[in-house]
Amino acid sequence: MAVTDPSGEPAFAVGERGYGGASPALIVAEIAQAHDGSLGLAHAYIDAVAETGADAVKFQMHLAGEESTRDEPWRTKFSRQDDTRYDYWRRMEFSAEQWAGLCDHAHERGLLFVCSPFSAAAVDLMAMIGADVLKIASGETFSLESLVARGGAMPVIVSTGMSDWQAIDAAIDVVRARNVPFCVLQCTTKYPTPLTDVGLNVLDAMRGRYGCAVGLSDHSGQVFPALAALARGFDALELHITLDRRMFGPDVSSSLTCEEFAHVCAARDAFHTMTTSPVDKDEAASGLDQVRAIFSKSVATNDDLSAGVVLERGHLTLKKPGMGIPAAELDSLVGRRLRVAVTADRLLKPSDLE
């Protein structure tokens, strides 16, 4: 049985919560660096995410001294206030106490707290504050063994934007050996991602190749990839979110607004309701005899006809309602003689015929 069979078990579990498969897909709102180093804005994002109907809020935990050096180049120089990439990571840092406050806030709002660590120290901090899910970012796939090993029993989500099949195979082997719930995400490392590069076909291939929970990490900045993945029955979505498209940050063009995010969450719930609510056509049609009679047709005449007329095919037609001589009997009336005169605005009755 496929893990996404709606009649089966959840495909991915976090504690006692199940997602995908028999349950609605997991939807993760990726804050990433949208808070721009502001603790207040980070908390505001948690409240905004809770209002969309998402299941989880996700942050990136950067500890500059643990993960980077001043030799790290900018992929795209977007910041006017940070001279180096290292300076930017320093500005994105929160203290252990602040991270704990964010995690507690998420839990208070009913959200899972998901985090991408970029160093072993960050994983240790995640475990200390009670994070729910360890997310391996695309760039960390090649060093995920040390991160996953420190994650203990935390469920793992693996993103694959920078990986080929060989690298993904190796990553899945490592995670599977940990015997923790895990999910693998198709991801395209382009910001924003053109629709032609989303890779829904890769999701299908992952489902067959790994037999595990499979989802989409989308950077298109549009709702369509998420809706397509949901409609195809995949188990998880990770989508960037922004309070406004005029916000500052490297991921704004790849993000959904809160309104768009809420639309995706509502679609997830609607799709799940439809998928898990099979309709029996015979049962649905039963009890509709009266309605069916109103909307179906019976035998009538095209023109007013006198008594004694022998009916020809051209005399006869079908008109509403279906409460007279059934349409299936029309041809059998050809050659019958009228006992009484009939009008074209009334159904033909058996008593009209000899």
Please report the pLDDT score of residue 185 as a whole number.
Answer: 98
- CATH architecture under which domain 282-352 falls: Alpha-Beta Complex (3.90)
**pLDDT on residue 64:** 76
User: What pLDDT shows up at residue 273?
Assistant: 94
Give yes or no for a contact between 234 and 203, defined as CB atoms under 8 angstroms apart: yes
E-strand stretches of 207-352: 213-218, 236-242, 256-257, 298-301, 316-319
Give CA–CA dist 60/119, Å, rounded: 11
| Helical pair 258-275 and 224-231, crossing angle rounded to 10 deg | 10
Provide DSSP, 129-160.
HT-SEEEE-GGGGGGHHHHHHHTTT--EEEE-
As a whole number of angstroms, the distance between CA 311 and CA 295 comes to 26
Reference 58, options 115, 126, 108; nearest CA is: 115
pTM for this predicted structure: 0.85
**Torsions phi, psi for 113 (to 5 deg):** -105, 110
pLDDT of residue 145: 87
Contacts of 295 (CB under 8 A, 6+ apart): 320, 321, 322
> Taking CA 60 as the corner, what is the angle to CA 59 and CA 61, rounded to the nearest 5 degrees?
115
Q: What is the rounded distance in angstroms from the CA atom of residue 161 to the CA atom of residue 138?
A: 5
Show the beta-strand stretches assigned E in 228-302.
236-242, 256-257, 298-301
Neighbours of 170 (CB within 10 A): 15
Helix pair 200-210, 224-231: axis angle to 10 deg: 40
Tokens representing residue 16 in the block: 């006692």
Q: How many Å separate Cα 10 from the centre of its chain?
A: 15
Residues of the chain under the 50 pLDDT cut: 1-7
Residue with tokens 């299936």: 328
pLDDT at 65: 76
- DSSP state at residue 199: -
d(CA 302, CA 307): 15
Give residues with Cβ within 8 angstroms of 14, minimum separation 6: 26, 112, 132, 133, 155, 181
Question: Do 34 and 89 contact (CB within 8 A), yes or no?
Answer: no
> Distances from the Cα of 341 to the Cαs of 324, 338, 344, in angstroms?
17, 7, 10
Q: Using CB atoms within 10 A of its CB, is residue 332 exposed (0-12), middle (13-18) or buried (19+)?
A: exposed
Domain boundaries, the chain: 12-275, 282-352
Q: Which fold has domain 12-275?
A: TIM Barrel (3.20.20)
As a whole number of angstroms, the distance between CA 283 and CA 343 comes to 38
d(CA 352, CA 348): 7
Can you read off the two tokens belonging to residue 130? 């009670």
For residue 328 the two structure tokens come to: 């299936």
pLDDT of residue 7: 45
Query: Pairing between strand 213-218 and 236-242?
Result: parallel
Tell me phi and psi for residue 305, to 5 degrees.
-130, 145
